[in-house]
């Protein structure tokens, strides 16, 4: 592959597109994902989210290109390393943004609102909110919630408030673990890369994940035994998928906090075999219970 094309692909961060699979959560649990036409519509929604998230990754890299030179790993990215120019990056950002907005407009007004709100939040994040303690992580979490909601409204199905809370708590866990790993990895120079890190105390970041893990487990278990879920799926057996969720959360905490690999949750998914296998088993078990019970 052409070297310039490789650099452009790196700038898009395609390995992060796995996060956009959250849009399938609502349709999956609504039992409507595989209804005629829905899978195709959801695939277009996934593409739209990939375009938008890549656009915002490019924009954030443009904004952070100077501070990224202070990071041992991020300085190797296309912009801080000088492998690609700022003007080219801006052109790519506008192209991705235009593609996402046009596709979102075609897919429907409510879906477009979700995409636009994600754009607005991330624009504010890149320009200011990433420097505000706690709000920086809440902005990241809001993106995951918007993915879940937009996936549901795209094919006009309802979504459980419990699942929304699960997505929010889980994404907070991922965000705070990323901050903790950055402080551990960068040490006393952490704030020179990310200003907000000077406001985070190590003790706070070490305690909060277990609160979030507990909250996520409680929300998920309450959903599995809720009247809504039992009535929709016609079974009380969804509770038996809880062990996969519990193991997955504690496994992530172990990898992120004991092994200090929480800076990039997607890398945990791709590189930690027990985590990947557990997620696959959870999906299979859940699908069997709600679709084939």
Domain that holds residue 220: 160-292
Instruction: Clarify whether residues 59 and 153 are in a common domain.
Output: yes
Do residues 130 and 196 lie in contact, with contact meaning Cβ atoms separated by under 8 Å?
Answer: yes
Total of domains in the chain = 2
pLDDT at residue 1 greater than cutoff 60: no
Answer with the one of 158, 188, 219 that is the final residue of a domain.
158
pLDDT at residue 9 greater than cutoff 60: yes
Instruction: Clarify whether residues 145 and 228 are in a common domain.
Output: no
Average pLDDT, integer, range 156-168: 90
Instruction: Clarify whether residues 113 and 185 are in a common domain.
Output: no
Instruction: Clarify whether residues 198 and 242 are in a common domain.
Output: yes
What is residue 206's predicted lDDT score, i.e. its pLDDT?
A: 84
Percent of the chain with pLDDT over 90: 63
Alpha-carbon gap, residue 57 to 232, rounded angstroms: 38
Instruction: Give the least confident one: 56-65, 112-121, 142-151, 250-259.
Output: 250-259
Instruction: Clarify whether residues 104 and 125 are in a common domain.
Output: yes
Instruction: Clarify whether residues 146 and 170 are in a common domain.
Output: no
pLDDT at residue 103 greater than cutoff 80: yes
Alpha-carbon gap, residue 134 to 165, rounded angstroms: 17
Instruction: Clarify whether residues 1 and 93 are in a common domain.
Output: yes
Give pLDDT tens digits for 236-285: 999 999 999 999 999 998 888 777 665 577 777 778 899 999 999 999 99
pLDDT level of residue 97 (50, 70, 90 thresholds) = very high
Instruction: Clarify whether residues 206 and 67 are in a common domain.
Output: no
What is residue 260's predicted lDDT score, i.e. its pLDDT?
A: 67
What is residue 256's predicted lDDT score, i.e. its pLDDT?
A: 82
Instruction: Give the least confident one: 68-82, 122-136, 178-192, 218-232.
Output: 178-192
HSE (CB half, 13 Å, CA atoms) of 138? 7
Instruction: Clarify whether residues 123 and 206 are in a common domain.
Output: no
pTM: 0.92
What is residue 53's predicted lDDT score, i.e. its pLDDT?
A: 97
Answer with the one of 105, 125, 158 that is the final residue of a domain.
158
Instruction: Clarify whether residues 37 and 123 are in a common domain.
Output: yes
Phi, psi values for residue 36, rounded to 5° = -50, 125
What is residue 139's predicted lDDT score, i.e. its pLDDT?
A: 95
Do residues 60 and 16 lie in contact, with contact meaning Cβ atoms separated by under 8 Å?
Answer: no
Instruction: Clarify whether residues 87 and 129 are in a common domain.
Output: yes
Instruction: Clarify whether residues 95 and 214 are in a common domain.
Output: no
Answer with the one of 158, 180, 214 that is the final residue of a domain.
158
Alpha-carbon gap, residue 287 to 112, rounded angstroms: 29
What is residue 74's predicted lDDT score, i.e. its pLDDT?
A: 78
* CATH code at position 110: 1.10.357.140
Give pLDDT tens digits for 45-78: 999 999 999 999 999 999 988 877 777 777 788 8
């Amino acid at each position: 592959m052409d070297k310039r094309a490789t650099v452009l692909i790196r700038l898009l961060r395609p390995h992060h597109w796995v996060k956009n699979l959250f849009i399938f959560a609502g349709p999956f649990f609504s039992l409507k994902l595989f209804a005629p036409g829905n899978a195709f519509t959801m695939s277009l929604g996934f593409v739209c989210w990939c375009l938008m998230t890549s656009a915002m990754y490019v924009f954030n890299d443009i904004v952070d290109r100077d501070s990224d030179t202070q990071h041992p790993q991020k300085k190797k990215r296309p912009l801080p390393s000088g492998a690609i120019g700022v003007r080219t990056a801006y052109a790519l950002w506008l192209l991705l943004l235009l593609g996402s907005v046009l596709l979102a407009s075609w897919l429907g007004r409510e879906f477009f609102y979700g995409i636009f709100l994600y754009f607005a939040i991330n624009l504010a994040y890149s320009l200011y909110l990433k420097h505000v303690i706690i709000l920086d992580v809440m902005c990241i979490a809001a993106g995951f919630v918007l993915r879940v909601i937009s996936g549901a409204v795209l094919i006009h199905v309802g979504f459980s408030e419990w699942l929304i809370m699960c997505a929010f708590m889980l994404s907070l866990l991922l965000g705070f673990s990323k901050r903790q790993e950055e402080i551990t990895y960068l040490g006393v120079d952490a704030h020179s890369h990310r200003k907000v890190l000077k406001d985070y105390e190590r003790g706070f970041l070490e305690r909060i994940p277990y609160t979030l893990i507990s909250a996520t487990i409680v929300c998920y278990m309450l959903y599995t035994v809720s009247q809504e879920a039992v009535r929709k799926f016609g079974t009380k057996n969804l509770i038996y998928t809880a062990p996969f969720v519990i193991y997955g959360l504690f496994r992530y905490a172990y990898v992120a906090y004991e092994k200090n690999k929480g800076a990039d949750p997607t890398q945990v998914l791709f590189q930690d075999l027990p985590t990947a296998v557990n997620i696959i088993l959870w999906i299979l078990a859940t699908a069997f219970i709600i679709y084939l019970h």
